[in-house]
Amino acid sequence: MVKGQIVQSLSGYFDVLADQHIYRTRGRGNFRKKKETPYVGDWVEFKADNENEGYLLKILNRKNSLVRPPVANVDRAVIVTACREPNLSTNLLDRQLVALTKNKIKPMLYFSKADLLNEIEKNELHDLVQYYQKFYPCFVFDGTNTDKIRRDFLGAVTCEVIVVMGQTGAGKSTLLNLIAPELQLETAEVSKALSRGKHTTRKVTLRQIENNLIADTPGFSSFEISDVKKEELPLFYPDFVELQDNCKFRGCLHLKEPKCAVKQAYEAGKILASRYENYVQFQGEIAQRKPKYK
């Protein structure tokens, strides 16, 4: 029995890295019985007679996991958000930030395709980034700052599992090609009619880039917040957390309560309007969620 880390998952096969060798394995039926799904990033115990015929035996304890993308034991996540083609969605961005914060994963925000914006749109983007970077590391790619992005991205930390995630066509593979040109990942144009990109990445793979393991993941056009309780949601907004002690009621949900410091800040323009409005929408979705009975 050997211990290793899953670095790729595709069509029921799991490639496991152990002792600088890759072993192709399959999951045993006991995973289905236990309703367990191995994820890329999982540390596992497995048995293999050779590098092409192995079986997973056990998934070791995870420190966290994401469903979309399906990755485990993540240290840091880079959310790639297109400024244009597809159009920027703060709703999708905030959903991802909630999921990452809940799982204690450090987010980094990367805004791609800023070079496609006109001057008015660039000013609007500047204001948006100015707000988010109070709480999260932010990078804006305008087509000219490749070296700085590579330096900041790889020089910040080492020996971490990093997920590159975001909407389809936002430029995740393009970002990785900027950071590590030797990868030569496939990229695709965005459909002008639908403002959607093609799924050039169809599998989750951990790639060694300098000292980090970085996951290029399939894109998506929607993102659900699952297993978040209404009382938890405000705690996943650092801009709300820094104001919550000024609310009249402890455990304020920042919705209809009187003398709510978060609502007052929103009304005064101190909280980004889309940020608060997305929060209200998320609370509404949580309230409408059907209860799960075990």
> pLDDT tens across 162-211, in order?
888 888 888 888 888 888 877 777 765 444 433 444 444 457 889 888 87
Residue 173 in marked binding region:
yes
Among residues 167, 292, 186, 285, which one has the least CA distance to residue 230? 285
pLDDT of residue 170: 86
**Domains in the chain, CATH or no CATH each:** 2-59 (2.40.50.140), 65-216 (3.40.50.300), 233-288 (1.10.40.50)
Q: Which residue has the higher pLDDT, 13 or 185?
A: 13
Residue 247 in marked binding region:
yes
| Helical packing angle, 273-288 and 90-102, nearest 10° | 70
pLDDT of residue 279: 98
Residue 101 in marked binding region:
no
DSSP state at residue 70: T
Amino acid at 75: D
Residue 290 in marked binding region:
no
Residues 6+ apart with CB under 8 A from 21: 51
Query: Is a pLDDT exceeding 60 seen at residue 239?
Result: yes
Q: What is the mean pLDDT of residues 125-130?
A: 96
Q: How far is CA 5 from CA 14, 21, 73, 142, 143, in A?
A: 10, 11, 10, 36, 35
Bridge partners for 27 per DSSP: 56
Residue 171 in marked binding region:
yes
Residue 83 in marked binding region:
no
Give the N- to C-terminal CA distance of the chain in Å, as an integer.
Answer: 34
Can you give the pTM of this predicted structure?
0.86
| Cβ-based neighbour number of residue 160 at 10 Å | 14
Query: Is a pLDDT exceeding 70 seen at residue 282?
Result: yes
Residue 168 in marked binding region:
yes
Residue 115 in marked binding region:
yes
Residue 48 in marked binding region:
no
Residue 155 in marked binding region:
no
pLDDT of residue 47: 94
**CA separation for the pair 141, 174 (Å, rounded):** 11
Residue 126 in marked binding region:
no
